[in-house]
Structure 1
C-alpha cells in the first residue's frame, strides 16, 4: 500500500478548501434561480417559516447533484491554476513528479465523490424531489393571504370580485364597496353596493365573515342561456341596513398527499424505475394487442382480415394456445415437474399437436375454398345499382349511419393513438431518469479531468479566467445534455445515445487535455493552430528573407549563376514531363502512391541556392529571393506520409474527396511554382550580371 505523503495532503487540502467554497456558491446560484422560477407560489400565501425552511431544505437537496459537477470544474481550474501561477507545478515537475502523479490523490477523491453522488441521487434525491414537488403543489393550491387593495377589483376570494374605494387600516373598515358574486353562475350574478363593510376571518381560518352596512343587492332573475333579445330583463332589488355573508375560505396551509405525484420519474430510484419501465412495457403490449383486435374487427381499417377462423379451427385466435399448438399454461406447469414426467408429457403433447395440425390444415383449406366462393360471388354484385334501387330515405339513413360509425372509429383511433404515445413517452422519461443518475455522477469525474489539466495549462488562478472558462464549459455541457435529452424524450434519438452524447463529447476532451498537460505540450498556441489550418486547407506560405546584419562569407556569384540556370532548366523539364494540370488518379494517389524524388531534389537545390544568396548585400537579389515559392514536395502525391492513413481516408469517401481536391490544388500550384522558379532564376541571373559587370559572364537569352 502506497503511504500518504505530504505532497498528497497539501494538494488535497488545497483542493478541498476551494471545492467547499465553489460548491456553496454554485448551490446558492442554482437555488436563487429555482426560487425565482416559483416566486409566484411563495409570495402572498401567508406561509410560515417552517414551510419556507422545508422548501429551501428539500430544494438544496434536489440541486446538489447539479451543483457538484460545476463546483468540481471550477475548483480544479482554480486549484491547478493557482499552483501553476505560483510555480508550484513547475517545482514539482522539476524534481520528476508528473502531472498524473500530482492528480493521483484527487483522482481517488473524485472517484469517491462520484460514487457518493450516485448513491445520493439514487437514495436521498428521489425522496427530496418528491417532498419538494409536494410542497410546490400544496403552495399552488393554498389560498392567498387576504389583503384587499384600494381602488381596484380584487379576485382573491373564490367566486367574488370586490372593489374598495377606501379602507381604514386601524379599524379594518371598508368604504364604498362594490361586490360581484358569481357563486350561482355568471347568468345569475349578484351585485352588491354598500356604504361600508367589514371583513373578518373565523378562528379556525376556514371561513370569511363579510358584514355589509347600508346598501343594495341586485340579482338577475332570468334563467337559462337563451340568446333571445328582450326589451326588459327581470331582476330582484333588495335594500338593507345590515347584511352578512359567510364565505368558504380555507386559509390554512395543507400539505397534499405525496402519492398524487408519486409517478414522477425524478422521485424514484433506479430499482423503482426499472419496475415502472417493465410495467409500462407490459401495459403498452396490452394496448397494442387491444388495438390489433380493434382494427381486426373493423374490416378494412388494417391489413388483418375480419373473418373468424375460430369456428373452423379452434386453435387459431385462441390466446391460450401458442403458435405451435401447445397450451402455454400447461407448459409452464410442466416445467416445475420432474424430468421423466415432463418428457412423457411433452411426447404426448407432440403427438396431439401433430394430429391437431393435420386437422387444422384441412379445416383451413376447406374454409379458404368457401371464402374464395363468397368473394367471387360478391364481386359479381353491382353495388352502385343496388344502392340506386333503394329509396332516398334509406340511402340517407345508410350514409348517416356510416358517417356516425366512421366518426366513432376515428375517435377511438385518436384515443388509442394518444394513449399509446403517452405510454411510450412515459417509458422514455423513465429511461432518461435512469441514465441521468449515472451520467451526472460520471460528469463529476469528467469535469475534474477537464479542469485540472486546463488549470495547469493556462496557469492562472483566482476568480477571473478560471470562472469564465468553467462557466463556458458548463454551458457547452448543458446545451449538449439538454439537446440530447430533448431529442431522446421526443423519440427522435435513442434514449441511451441522446443521454450519453455529452459524455461521448466531453470525455475525449478531458483525455486530450490530460494527455497534453502531462506531456507539457503546447495547447493554446495560436501560431501552431494557424499553421495547422494553413496546412489542411493548402494555403500558401510566403518566404521571408531579410538582409543580414553580419555576413561572414559573400556568395559565390559565378557558381550561383550556373546553378540558377541548371535549376531553371530542370523546372522546365519537370513541367513538360509531369503534366501537372491533369486530374489526379484517385486510386493511385490513395492506395498506390509513389514518392516524387525529382521535386524533392529540385526543392533541396532551390533551398541551397536561396540560403547562399541570402548572404548578399544587394537589395534586388534579396527582394527576388522572397518571390521564390515555398514547395511542399509530397502534398501533390498523397495526403499523408503514412500508407494506412491514405487508405482509410480514401475509403471514407467524403474525407477522400476533400483530400483529392486538395492534392489537385497542390498539383496546379506546383505547376505555377515551377514557372515562378524559372522566372525568379532568370531575374537573379540578371542581377548577378549587374553585380559582376567586369566578368565575361553574359546572360543567356
Structure 2
C-alpha cells in the first residue's frame, strides 16, 4: 500500500507544480498588462522590477493555488482513468476513498500552509507591493522628445521640438518654457537648433542651443497693480546651460504609510482594528443622538414668549404642558413658534442626512476589515473543496492531459470567482452579511464536490451523453400521443 500511495503522490505533485507555475505566469502577465503604463519610460533597474514581480507573485497565490489544485487533481485522476489504472485498483478491492486518502492528507497540509501564508505572508507581500507600486508611480519618467509635441518630462521645463535628426541627434525649431520660478510662462527660450545630452551619471542635462532669443519678464513689486511691466530680450548665437535631473534611482518612501490598510493586517490586527473602528462609530452615533436632542428636538422658547406664557398659566393655575402652553399663545407667537419648529426640523433632517452618509461610509470601511478576516479562511477551504471536485471529476471523465481538464477547470473556477466577487461586492455594499458575502461561493460549490465524490464512488456515468439521449427518448411526447390515440 505504501508503494501505491507513493505512486499516487508522485502522479499528483508533478501536475500540481506545473499547473501552479502556469497559473502564476498567466495571472502575473495579466497584472503587468494592467499596470504596464506605470513602468514604461521610468528607467527602472532590473532589480527593482524583479523585486516588484516577486511581491506581486506572492499576492497572486490565493487565486493560483486553488485553480492549480483543481486542474492537477482532474489531470491526475483523468490520466489514471484513461490508462485504466483506476480500474485496476478498484478491481483489486481498493475503493476511490482509499485511493484519494494520501492526496487528502496532502491537501489538508497544503490548506494549513495556505492559511499560514494568508495570515502571515500575504499582509507583508501586499504592503511591499503597494509601497513599491506607489513609489514607481511617483518616479519621474525619462525624457522622451517627440516632434511637434510639448514634453513635460523634464522637471520644471516644457519643451517643444519641430524636427529631430536621428543620425546626429540635432534638434530644430526649439521652444522651451522655463517654470523654475513658478511664475507662469515668463521665461521663454527660442532656438533654431540645439542638442540635449545627458551626463554619464544621468544627474544633469547639458543643453546647447544655437541662434535664438530668450524672452523674460522682469519681476517687480507692483506687478499685480501695474499691467505694463518691463521685459527683457537676450539674443544669442550659442547658449549653454546645465539642467539638474532627478536621476533614475527609485526613491523609496516610508513603508508604514499603508500599514493600517485592511489587506496589510493579520487576524489579530484585523480584530483589534475592527473593534477600535466600531467603538469610534458607536461614539459618533451617541454624539449625533445627543446633538439632535439638545439642539434640534428640544428647543427653549425666547424668554419674552416663555415669560408671558408662564404668567398666564400662573394666573389661571393650569397644569403646564406643551398643548396648553401653545394654545395660550397669541396668534403671532404661535406663528413664530411654528416657523421656528419647521426650521429646526429642516436643519435636523439635513444634519441627519449628511451624517448618515458619513456613518454609512465608516460602516463600509469596517466591513472591509470583516471581509478580510473571513478571507483568511476561505483560501484554505477553497483548496480543500476544489480537490474534492477535481479528483472525482477526473475519475468520471477519464481524460488526462491539458485538453478537457483545462476547459472544465477554467469553467468551474470562473463560476466560483464570479460568485465570490459578486457576493463580496454585495457584502461591501451592506446587502449581505460578511459571512454570506465571503462564504457564499464555497457553500454553493461544496454540495457539488459531495455529489461528484458520490457519483465517482458509485461509478456513475455522469458525462455519458448516450444516457441523456436515452432518457429523452423515453419521454418523447410524440410517442406518448400515439399511445393516447391508440
Verify same fold: TM over 0.5.
Answer: yes
Whole-Å Cα distance in 2 between the matches of residues 250 and 280 of structure 1?
A: 42
Aligned to 1:493, the other structure's residue is in SS state: coil
* Residue of 217, 229, 233 corresponding to 1:238: 233
Q: CA distance change for structure 1 residues 295 and 95 in 2, over 3 Å: closer, same or farther? A: same
Tell me if structure 1 keeps the 8 A contact 2:161–2:171: yes
Gaps of 5+ in 1: 224-231, 309-367, 388-394, 544-625, 630-672, 681-701
Whole-Å Cα distance in 1 between the matches of residues 74 and 348 of structure 2?
A: 64
Whole-Å Cα distance in 1 between the matches of residues 319 and 244 of structure 2?
A: 77
Match of 2:298 in 1: 305
The answer on 1:68 being equivalent to 2:65 is yes
Match of 1:376 in 2: 326
Whole-Å Cα distance in 2 between the matches of residues 305 and 252 of structure 1?
A: 63
Equivalent positions of 1:650-669 (< 5 A) are none
Whole-Å Cα distance in 1 between the matches of residues 78 and 234 of structure 2?
A: 81
Deviation at 1:124, TM superposition (A): 0.9
The answer on 1:192 being equivalent to 2:172 is no
The answer on 1:508 being equivalent to 2:458 is no
Match of 2:379 in 1: 440
Tell me if structure 2 keeps the 8 A contact 1:163–1:179: yes
Match of 1:140 in 2: 137
Whole-Å Cα distance in 2 between the matches of residues 276 and 165 of structure 1?
A: 57
Deviation at 1:540, TM superposition (A): 3.3
Q: CA distance change for structure 1 residues 380 and 515 in 2, over 3 Å: closer, same or farther? A: farther
> Larger deviation: 376-385 or 70-79?
376-385
1:7-32: CA deviation from partner (whole Å, max 9, x where unpaired) = 11101111001111111111111111
1:373-407: CA deviation from partner (whole Å, max 9, x where unpaired) = 784267543358779xxxxxxx9xx9xxx89x978
Match of 2:479 in 1: 542
Q: CA distance change for structure 1 residues 259 and 434 in 2, over 3 Å: closer, same or farther? A: same
* Residue of 95, 115, 120 corresponding to 1:118: 115
The answer on 1:39 being equivalent to 2:32 is no
1:236-282: CA deviation from partner (whole Å, max 9, x where unpaired) = 35123236474574543111112211122111111111111101101
Whole-Å Cα distance in 1 between the matches of residues 173 and 333 of structure 2?
A: 78
Match of 1:463 in 2: 402
Deviation at 1:207, TM superposition (A): 6.0
Whole-Å Cα distance in 2 between the matches of residues 489 and 533 of structure 1?
A: 45
Deviation at 1:195, TM superposition (A): 2.6
Equivalent positions of 1:81-96 (< 5 A) are 81-96=78-93
Tell me if structure 1 keeps the 8 A contact 2:154–2:245: no
Match of 2:308 in 1: none
**TM-score normalised according to structure 1 size:** 0.59
> What is the number of residues matched between the two proteins?
459
Tell me if structure 2 keeps the 8 A contact 1:188–1:221: no
* Residue of 346, 355, 365 corresponding to 1:416: 355
1:319-348: CA deviation from partner (whole Å, max 9, x where unpaired) = xxxxxxxxxxxxxxxxxxxxxxxxxxxxxx
Match of 1:351 in 2: none
Aligned to 1:178, the other structure's residue is in SS state: strand
Whole-Å Cα distance in 2 between the matches of residues 413 and 184 of structure 1?
A: 48
Q: CA distance change for structure 1 residues 222 and 369 in 2, over 3 Å: closer, same or farther? A: farther
Whole-Å Cα distance in 2 between the matches of residues 42 and 235 of structure 1?
A: 45
Whole-Å Cα distance in 2 between the matches of residues 76 and 165 of structure 1?
A: 62
1:396-429: CA deviation from partner (whole Å, max 9, x where unpaired) = xx9xxx89x978994x656534432221111111
* Residue of 475, 478, 499 corresponding to 2:438: 499
Deviation at 1:296, TM superposition (A): 2.4
Structure with larger Rg: 1
Equivalent positions of 1:506-585 (< 5 A) are 506-526=445-465, 528-529=467-468, 540=477, 542=479
Q: CA distance change for structure 1 residues 205 and 424 in 2, over 3 Å: closer, same or farther? A: farther
Aligned to 1:298, the other structure's residue is in SS state: helix
Equivalent positions of 1:8-23 (< 5 A) are 8-23=5-20
Whole-Å Cα distance in 2 between the matches of residues 384 and 245 of structure 1?
A: 80
Q: CA distance change for structure 1 residues 385 and 443 in 2, over 3 Å: closer, same or farther? A: closer
Match of 2:314 in 1: none
1:479-510: CA deviation from partner (whole Å, max 9, x where unpaired) = 11111111111111111111111011100000
Q: CA distance change for structure 1 residues 284 and 385 in 2, over 3 Å: closer, same or farther? A: closer
**Cα RMSD over matched residues?**
3.5
Whole-Å Cα distance in 2 between the matches of residues 182 and 113 of structure 1?
A: 58
Whole-Å Cα distance in 2 between the matches of residues 509 and 48 of structure 1?
A: 48
Equivalent positions of 1:241-260 (< 5 A) are 241=236, 242=239, 244=241, 246=243, 249=246, 251-260=248-257
Equivalent positions of 1:279-318 (< 5 A) are 279-299=276-296, 304-306=297-299
Equivalent positions of 1:152-167 (< 5 A) are 152-167=149-164
1:148-195: CA deviation from partner (whole Å, max 9, x where unpaired) = 234432121244321123446787654321123455668655432123
Whole-Å Cα distance in 2 between the matches of residues 261 and 415 of structure 1?
A: 28
Q: CA distance change for structure 1 residues 386 and 165 in 2, over 3 Å: closer, same or farther? A: closer
Whole-Å Cα distance in 1 between the matches of residues 462 and 175 of structure 2?
A: 74
Whole-Å Cα distance in 2 between the matches of residues 221 and 375 of structure 1?
A: 74
